[in-house]
Structure formats: C-alpha cells, structure tokens
A and B are shown apart, each in its own frame.
Chain A
Amino acid sequence: MPYIADIVLDSGLSYAKTNADKIYICGTAEPATYTAATSTNALGNNNFGAGAVFPGAIAAGSPSGRKITTAAVTAGSVTATGTAGWWAIIYSAGTTGAGGTALLFASSLAASQAVTSGNTFTLGAFDIRLPGTGG
C-alpha cells in the first residue's frame, strides 16, 4: 500500500459525515444498493438528519487510516417484521446529479436480531474506518 495522506482519507469521510442522514437495518439479504437498503430489504431506520449520523470529529484509525464514529441509535423505528442482519448508512436527501442519493456504507450486524413492526430498535455507536498505509 503506498503512502496515503490523511487529508485524502478525510475528504471521503467528510463527504459521508456531511451528507449521511439515516441508518437502516435490513433483513437477511445484504443490501447492494440504496433501493435495497431503503425499501426492498428494509426493516427499520433512524432519521438523524444530514450531518448528525457522525457527530464527532474525524480521528485516527487503528491500526491505520482515519475513522468516523456513528451516533448511537436509541429509538429507531422498526417498519417491518423480520430478522435484521445488516445495517446501512445512506444519503437520502441528495439532489439529482453526481452527488445524489446513495448507499454510503453497509455491513453486517454483530448478531442477527428478530424485530417486529411498530417497535423500536437500538444500535450502539460504531466506527467506519478507511485504512491507510499498512492496512
């Protein structure tokens, strides 16, 4: 891996920090797109508003790179019944064009969890890290 300046990684994280507005939980199928995350496979979401999904500053990652940390979800809305296996962070308020609406990040929950429509869900804060030199 060649040398990567922090500002290069920070630029990507800054885009997400500025624009991410919602965290979704999704069913058993891993979301590959914005549409899958927000409709096809969606089981619930928490609308933080743009700029509030990642409330803190961009920081050093470990063992390398840079990271941002999500806000904890304390009362997300479960909108469908199912088994949640994935989370997705999205930018839903994009204007039409190159910087438009998009799935920004997605990965698996630490453990799958049955959820019921009408209930709420919680999710602890977690890091998104862009690795730098050294992985």
Chain B
Amino acid sequence: MARVEVSPTFIEFDGVARAELGPALKSAVASAETLDNAITAEHYQVGRHDAVGVAIELGKPFSYLDWLGDRVWYVYHFEAMPDELADARGFVRGTEYWAEKGVKSTQAEAEAFAQSLV
C-alpha cells in the first residue's frame, strides 16, 4: 500500500483514501457568550448560517467548527457519488468524489481506518 505524506496533516493511501487534520465539528446553544469571537469564529453570528448551513438563532443549538480547539482527523474515500447527490449537483451519475467516511481523534486511528477503506 502506498502511503504518501502530503504534509504532516494530510496523508493519502493508494490515491483512494485520505486522512486529514481539521477542526472538530461541535454544537452549542447560541448566546452572546458562545458567539463571542474569542470563543467561536467571527462568522458565526445571529442571522447568518452555521457550519452546516442552518440559520443561527439565539437560544437554539448551532453547529460550528472549533478552529480554536484540538484538531481531529477526517477520513475520506474516493468513490462514486450517490445518484441522488450527483443528480442534485448536476453531475453525470457515477462521477467520483472524496466522500467523508468518518472522524477520528488520533492520527493512528485515522490512518488505520483510511487503510481499511483501500
């Protein structure tokens, strides 16, 4: 199996699986405190959308990428897009893309999982 370390935070296996470091997706109740720019990124504001595209409302849960916290490892597999997604995005059915397959806390876990997808 070919393991290519594109960078210390980006590893690819046989060109079809990847482990990449990034901020964790978390949720919190929207408030002046949680929307403070010292706590969450400045683009999370009431009236704008959260990290999954939902409008942020005070007192309601919102999703955010924790750019300030510990990073996690995202694992991807290069595979055919599901037909419904291909149709929605205007792609020919069978078009391949990098599908997110899971999130792991450590590099070792992420690499093991990525290798299992090859």
Interchain CB contact under 8 A, B74 and A33: yes
| CB 8 Å contact bits of A89-109 with B (1 = contact, 0 = none) | 000001011111111000110
- Checking B48, B49, B91 against A117 with a beta-carbon cut-off of 8 angstroms, the contacting residue is B91
Q: Which B residues are CB-close (under 8 A) to A83?
A: 53
Interchain CB contact under 8 A, B52 and A29: yes
Interchain Cβ contacts within 8 Å, total number: 84
Interchain CB contact under 8 A, B90 and A28: no
Closest A residue to B4 using CB positions? A96
Answer whether residue A85 sits at the interface, using C-beta atoms and an 8 A cutoff.
yes
> Chain A nearest CB: distance from B24 CB in Å?
8
Question: A9-17, A35-43, A47-55: which one contacts chain B?
Answer: A35-43
Q: State the main secondary structure of chain B at its contact with A.
A: strand
> Chain A nearest CB: distance from B45 CB in Å?
9
Taking CB atoms and an 8 Å cut-off, the chain B residues in 12-43 that contact chain A are: 18, 20-23, 25, 41, 43
> Chain A nearest CB: distance from B8 CB in Å?
6
**Complex alpha-carbon distance, A39 and B41, angstroms:** 23
Interchain CB contact under 8 A, A101 and B22: no
- Checking A30, A35, A81, A101 against B65 with a beta-carbon cut-off of 8 angstroms, the contacting residue is A30
Interchain CB contact under 8 A, B7 and A39: no
Interchain CB contact under 8 A, A98 and B43: no
Taking CB atoms and an 8 Å cut-off, the chain B residues in 61-78 that contact chain A are: 65, 74, 76
Closest A residue to B75 using CB positions? A35
Interface residues on B, range: 20 to 34
Q: Which A residues are CB-close (under 8 A) to B4?
A: 96
Q: List 11 A-B contacts (CB under 8 A).
A: A29-B52, A33-B10, A33-B22, A36-B22, A36-B98, A40-B76, A81-B89, A82-B89, A100-B7, A102-B9, A108-B43
Give residues in B with beta carbon < 8 Å to A: 4-10, 18, 20-23, 25, 41, 43, 48-49, 51-53, 65, 74, 76, 88-91, 97-100
Other than the known A35-B98, A108-B43, what 9 A-B pairs have Cβ atoms closer than 8 Å?
A30-B65, A33-B10, A35-B20, A35-B74, A100-B6, A101-B6, A102-B10, A103-B22, A117-B90
Shortest Cβ-Cβ A-B pairs, 5 listed: A28-B53, A117-B90, A100-B7, A32-B22, A81-B90
Give residues in A with beta carbon < 8 Å to B: 27-30, 32-36, 39-40, 43, 80-83, 85, 94, 96-103, 107-108, 112, 116-118
